[in-house]
Structure 1
Amino acid sequence: MKSSLFFALICLAMNALGQSSSVARVDTGTIGGARYRIDIPANWNPKRLLMYAHGYETIKNKRGNLSGGTMESFTKKGFAVAQSAYRRQGWAVAEGVDDTEALRQYFVRKYGQPDTTFITGHSMGGMITLATIEKFPDNYQGALPLCTISGNLYQSLQNHLFAMLTTFDGLFANTVALEKLATGTGTPTAPEVIRQKLQADSLLGQQFARRFAVKYSDLPGTLWFFQEIYRDLSQQAGGNPFDNSNVLYSGFPDDALVNRRATRLAAQPKPRTFLGPYTTFSGKISDPVLLVHTTYDQLIPPADGTAYDAIVRQAGNDRLFVMKFTDGQGHCRFTPAQTEAVFDQLRQWAQTGQRPVAGEVR
């Protein structure tokens, strides 16, 4: 049940698993401890390359995250697709940036310099996409981050993931072992248990869901997944990385009650800095960036997904950024047709300099 819920949340848009009919050759192996997969299409002429960065993968997930996914949307357009599994599971933005670049360099050495190279990725892979296009602009013609946090990563995680867990822990006592999760010793509470607790006080559960703009039916899976991420972050950091000691929660029917009951956890100095060099994006881009988000996302609120607009404007690069949206109801709920449409727009923008119009993807 847990495994299926995870893939329902993260891989909703990935419905073309395995090698597609447009792929002529698959190259697999390991680089620096990171597995990789390269799909080369039959019509690979001219030599076009797409680097793909996958999303968050729960620790000890045995399926791995190197499948065909939505790669057919790109391979059938004549693009070779290269993707790294990263050298570690879980939160791996820094590793994802480095391992994706190592794979790109391997590709160039083995197959030659592509005529054009783009990068894309879903969810955490979108963060890797943004960090990569800022760090290695000369290697790409454009970037397509999808359903991702595009602002300050620490603040986004603290204000949504951590806030949901601490307030839920206070309102629905004895449901999640948050303090144990903070030390990396707790076990995430299963969605079924969370659902039972919510059903015992459905009115409070519905109020809680509205406060965080999450559908009531999505709460059990979302809270379980957030526990998985929180435990992973705490283990990597060596302790709780967030701090709500001075946070005043609002937007609930009874804010005073929530603030009395919310679990308060202080961060240690080292864990607060563990996210490393890609905590904040700079907006210093020299290639077109087309970001796409859904109007409803239980994991990454639209405000967090579209924060990059303010960052590039501050950097004076808003001419190189466009945000598009779909009416998808859930995390990364894009249809193959929508993925192809925005990828075509990015390619045309890079080739002609004609900036796409922001707005809905139809």
Structure 2
Amino acid sequence: MNASARPRTRRIRIALASTAVVASTALVAPLPSADAQADAHVAGHLTGTLADGATWVADVPEQWNGTLLLFSHGFGPLVARNAPTDAVRTELLSQGYALAGSSYDPNGPMWALNSAERDQFATLDAVIAKIGTPQRTLAMGNSMGGLVNAQLARDGGGRIDGALGQCGLVAGGVDLDNYQLDAEYTLARLLLPGEEVKLVRFDSAADAAATAKKLTDAVTAAQATPQGRARIALAAAFLNLPAWAPGQEQPPATDWAGQQEQQYAWFAQGILSFVEGGRFAMEQSAGGNNSWNKGVDYARLLAGSVHAPQVRALYRAAGLDLRTDLSTLTAGAGITADPAAVRTAQRTFTAGQGLEVPLLDIHTTADNLVPVEQESRFASRVRASGDGALLRQAFVERQGHCTFTTAETVAALHALEHRVSTGHWDDAATPAALQRSATALGLDGAAYVTYRPAQLTVGRDRPGQH
């Protein structure tokens, strides 16, 4: 966005005295940072504490352009953040944006969906009380924070003007836990037959870590045989796991063995430790197990997967009967959910039941933690609500979770601003326009591409089925 397209620049003045905001708020000098360039643009570094103990942080540049960005961070330590990366923070401050974000309630689990939306709106109130009403407020969020961001876009009409999501878990926590359960169950049933492997209702983080280790060890051992590799590919299909790993060339469309090797690389890097740790936190948040596989037809589930041809080819090469394995999975599927936990998760872990403001989601095409197929699931729900015109989605050809360049992030923000300013998307959010905009920034490159994600492999169309 060039200077002429920005809102009118104005200088703000912030009182040096601390003022109470719910619990406490303090204005302090800019904190020391290795990023001296970012600090050069910070006129005010504000922090505060909300009623539930959540902390918030805001940075306001000396020449504020009037736009406040409210950032929702992803799954992890409950520490206040106001930008996805330090480099993005630097660039946005240099362009005149004010940045704010909260930690969410630190007294709860890291899966903080019970408090995140509430704390983000409370942070917005606290920051506005200190710096005045912005000319425009935009939400941003990544990963779990992308789900929070979608909730803000659903509920924030009149408080925010638009939202930018990155690598967002927008299909929601119920779908996430269910398709992850399918993969975990497949590994346990086919690679560890006869063994008891605890897959749900973890008693502690150590309990979850023990399951992750057992399953990861089983995958490592299975990779040594054609039969094991075929079964790993089946589990990877249910996990919606991309067949393109970091540091490697994307395998050809029919290089089934090469695709499996790269899926295995994700397992070898410890993806199951993240999955099981996340499940424990989500069960804490929901008050029980919100996932189930009782009644799932695993043959039908695989038939809907974009990876089905790969799995069939690897089973043939290994001399295994795929129908037998799928029948074994279907016959043994007996995990049920806790109804109260499902109700809590459906209420707090979801988005897509409508939008009140424009939302632009961007996603990498080979995301190992939040599969790009989540965007298909989310878009169908938004369209069903009648709000499809408010949603745009764009894709970056790259491996990994939230691995966007600064240029890609800023270009997407400018496209969102075009929609908010004009009332029309026009072609601002098309891959070509985003690529031109990102490249013109002269920062760290971009890889926007034309892409249509496959359907999410989840196999549970009725939300209350358990």
Please report the TM-score for the alignment, with normalisation by the length of structure 1. Answer: 0.84
1:169-224, Cα deviation, whole Å (9 max, x unpaired): 22332999852752424141487765543332214245246523342211142211
Contact residue 140 and residue 287 of structure 1 kept, 8 A: yes
Larger relative CO (CA 8 A, sep 6+): 1 or 2? 1
Distance (Å, rounded) in 1 between the aligned partners of 2:211 and 2:336: 25
Distance (Å, rounded) in 2 between the aligned partners of 1:267 and 1:298: 25
Report the CA distance between 1:263 and its aligned residue: 6.3
Find the partner of 2:273 among 213, 224, 230.
224
1:317-352, Cα deviation, whole Å (9 max, x unpaired): 222211111012111111111001101111122112
Match of 1:13 in 2: none
Distance (Å, rounded) in 1 between the aligned partners of 2:34 and 2:336: 42
Report the CA distance between 1:234 and its aligned residue: 2.3
Match of 2:448 in 1: none
| Aligned residue identity for 2:325 | L
Question: CA 1:286–1:270 in 2, change beyond 3 Å: closer, same or farther?
Answer: closer
Question: CA 1:241–1:176 in 2, change beyond 3 Å: closer, same or farther?
Answer: farther
Distance (Å, rounded) in 2 between the aligned partners of 1:40 and 1:357: 27
Count of paired positions = 341
Match of 1:34 in 2: 54
Match of 1:236 in 2: 285
Contact residue 366 and residue 398 of structure 2 kept, 8 A: yes
1:31-75, Cα deviation, whole Å (9 max, x unpaired): 12101111112221x322000000011xxx5x8463752323422
Correspondence 1:113-192 to 2 at 5 A? 113-158=133-178, 160-173=179-192, 178-179=197-198, 181-185=200-204, 186-189=207-210
Q: Does 2:306 align with 1:257?
A: no
Match of 2:93 in 1: 75
Mean Cα deviation higher: 79-88 or 184-193: 184-193
Match of 1:5 in 2: none
Q: Does 2:247 align with 1:199?
A: no
Find the partner of 1:298 among 368, 374, 378.
368
Match of 1:47 in 2: 66
Match of 1:213 in 2: 241
Match of 1:8 in 2: none
Distance (Å, rounded) in 2 between the aligned partners of 1:339 and 1:229: 26
| Aligned residue identity for 1:217 | A
Match of 2:246 in 1: none
Match of 1:6 in 2: none
Contact residue 184 and residue 235 of structure 1 kept, 8 A: no
Distance (Å, rounded) in 2 between the aligned partners of 1:149 and 1:278: 13
Distance (Å, rounded) in 1 between the aligned partners of 2:293 and 2:364: 28
1:125-164, Cα deviation, whole Å (9 max, x unpaired): 0111111121121111110011113235413431x22222
Query: Rg bigger for which structure?
Result: 2
Report the CA distance between 1:256 and its aligned residue: 3.0
Question: CA 1:192–1:122 in 2, change beyond 3 Å: closer, same or farther?
Answer: same
Match of 1:4 in 2: none
Mean Cα deviation higher: 219-228 or 331-340: 219-228
Question: CA 1:320–1:176 in 2, change beyond 3 Å: closer, same or farther?
Answer: farther
Match of 1:266 in 2: 336
Correspondence 1:83-102 to 2 at 5 A? 83-87=101-105, 88-102=108-122
Q: Tell me the secondary structure at the aligned position of residue 94 of structure 1.
A: coil
Report the CA distance between 1:259 and its aligned residue: 4.9
Find the partner of 1:246 among 295, 314, 338.
295
Please report the TM-score for the alignment, with normalisation by the length of structure 2. Answer: 0.66
Contact residue 295 and residue 333 of structure 2 kept, 8 A: no
Report the CA distance between 1:94 and its aligned residue: 3.2
Q: Tell me the secondary structure at the aligned position of residue 393 of structure 2.
A: strand
Distance (Å, rounded) in 1 between the aligned partners of 2:92 and 2:203: 39
Question: CA 1:26–1:247 in 2, change beyond 3 Å: closer, same or farther?
Answer: same
Report the CA distance between 1:270 and its aligned residue: 1.6
Mean Cα deviation higher: 251-260 or 74-83: 251-260
Distance (Å, rounded) in 2 between the aligned partners of 1:175 and 1:145: 43
Task: Name structure 1 gaps, 5 residues minimum.
Answer: 1-15
| Aligned residue identity for 2:417 | R
Cα RMSD of the aligned pairs, angstroms, is 2.8
Distance (Å, rounded) in 2 between the aligned partners of 1:238 and 1:314: 30
Find the partner of 1:352 among 379, 404, 422.
422
Mean Cα deviation higher: 236-245 or 219-228: 236-245
Q: Tell me the secondary structure at the aligned position of residue 188 of structure 1.
A: helix
Find the partner of 1:66 among 35, 57, 81.
81
